[in-house]
Chains A and B, each alone.
Chain A
Amino acid sequence: MSEPEFASALQNAVARAIKDVASIANLKRLSGGASQETWSFDGVGPAGTQGFILRRAPGGKVVPRSATAVALATEAKVIRRAAKAGVPVPPVRYVLEEHDGLGPGYVMGRVEGETIARKILRDAAFAEARPKLARQCGRILAAIHAVDTTGLDELKTVPAKVQLEQYRSIYDTYDYPHPVFEVALKWLEERLPDTQDLTLVHGDFRHGNLMIGPDGVRAVLDWELVHIGDPAEDLGWICVNSWRFGETHKVVGGFGEVADLVAGYAEAGGKGMTAERVKFWEIFGTMKWGIMCMTMYQAFAQGSDRSVERATIGRRSSETEIDLVNLLYPKAAKP
């Protein structure tokens, strides 16, 4: 499908499905990956102009998504549930149907704000928001973890033990020795939590997926890794040093403290969260990001994406290895 054909099919779909939209303008592609593409456009109608985002399958084709990603229609369903539970999310306005000819995907209202970590962590516009973000993230995560999952049977249940085996098996597939990941796998295996209260887990709660304004978090984006699991997973993931973008001393996303994250979580009704549970998942997440870097390099090595970016990201695994060394051997004698 050419871009004009795509634009025309999209206009037909939204004009039919969304009230007060007669035509579309300013269509532009924001990003594209192996699992989804994102477009921004304006819906123009008698009542004025509204901003929209389309998230759809790459090229509109029904492709098998990675083992951990959910279907786009499931994403849309979960976002609608989360909205009802008080989670700040973009409003889902329309889920694409087969007769639209655009492939699987959905249209949401465009939320204005910033997702680029370096701006959020450094620009003066966010100076007042920054000290409040950790607590706010805690409150939002408590709301996410309270979302009713009844009937969301397509979501996979992935407690720590299952996820550890998944990542060990992915790492083993690449058949390249990383002794530091072996140490992390061992450390995690010896401390696997036997969490009984599994909840909805966003699965990728970090910079890039948080739309932030001077007033704080406006929307939680990118729900493709949503699953049922240990709620501490989400709190640990945003503490991974890779998401602090150089602001290492501020453990939560480079803007805050774990104590504030956990306090916000409890304030909003989240149960039984501790810094220790968060730490387990920070270490898990650090290893996971290292293995994900190996996975992205594999897209280059196996030929599906021969970009220099996919090749080079393989050399970022060692960033997570030094983080793991710092975390697991905090008092090791200097060599």
Chain B
Amino acid sequence: MMDQPSALELVTAVREFIEKHAMPELQGRTAFHARVAANALAIVARELEQAAPENDAERRRLQALLQHDGTLDSLNRELCRQIRSGRIAWDDPALARHLTTTTLAKVAVDQPNYSGYVRSPHRGPG
């Protein structure tokens, strides 16, 4: 077990340093890259908070779709092959539900303010 602070606290500390202290001192392209750096750390923080349960749920859905177990990576690769070969139809309702849920979870980590996510008709109330 690692000591405190947690990884989440560490990346948050660095992000806050960039936003509150470094960025006001910077200009031009360096300021732009600092903002991107802060955004990158915000992605890492959300991933630390959200990805583990989402990855488990994704893997369970993939097991159900493909009827066997495997790593998240190998199951996703097989899903790709089956979509490409047509073994799973692209409009298969179970596939559609899986990809919708998976993609919402990915964007919630990557870019939760993205318009296509914020206004997705697939997002439930609340």
Contacts and interface: CB of A to CB of B under 8 A. Distances in A.
B119 interface: yes
Contact of B116 (A177, A178, A186, A322): A322
A206 interface: no
Nearest to B125: A334
A244 B76 CA distance: 30
A67 to B, nearest CB: 23
A315 interface: yes
Interface residues of A, number: 35
A183 B90 contact: yes
B106 interface: yes
B100 A308 contact: no
A311 B40 contact: yes
Given A241-B116, A309-B36, A329-B96, A319 B84 contact: no
A312 B111 contact: no
Residue of B39, B43, B73, B115 with most chain A CB atoms under a 10 A cut-off: B115
A118 to B, nearest CB: 13
B76 A179 contact: yes
A178 B80 CA distance: 7
A3 to B, nearest CB: 16
A335 B116 contact: no
A183 B40 contact: no
Nearest to B86: A186
B33 A248 contact: no
Contacts of A312: 36, 39-40, 43
Interface in B43-95: 43, 73, 76-77, 79-80, 83-84, 86, 90-91, 93, 95
A315 B110 contact: yes
A335 B111 CA distance: 21
A28 to B, nearest CB: 11
Interface of B: 32-33, 36-37, 39-40, 43, 73, 76-77, 79-80, 83-84, 86, 90-91, 93, 95-97, 99-104, 106-107, 110-111, 114-117, 119-122, 124
Please provide the 8 A-B residue pairs with the shortest distance between their CB atoms, ordered closest to farther: A177-B76, A182-B83, A332-B96, A315-B110, A318-B106, A323-B116, A186-B90, A248-B115
Interface of A: 177-180, 182-183, 185-187, 241, 244, 246-248, 307-309, 311-312, 315-316, 318-319, 321-323, 325-326, 328-330, 332-335
Given A179-B83, A246-B115, A326-B121, 11 more contacts: A182-B80, A308-B33, A312-B36, A318-B107, A319-B107, A322-B103, A325-B103, A330-B121, A332-B122, A334-B124, A335-B100
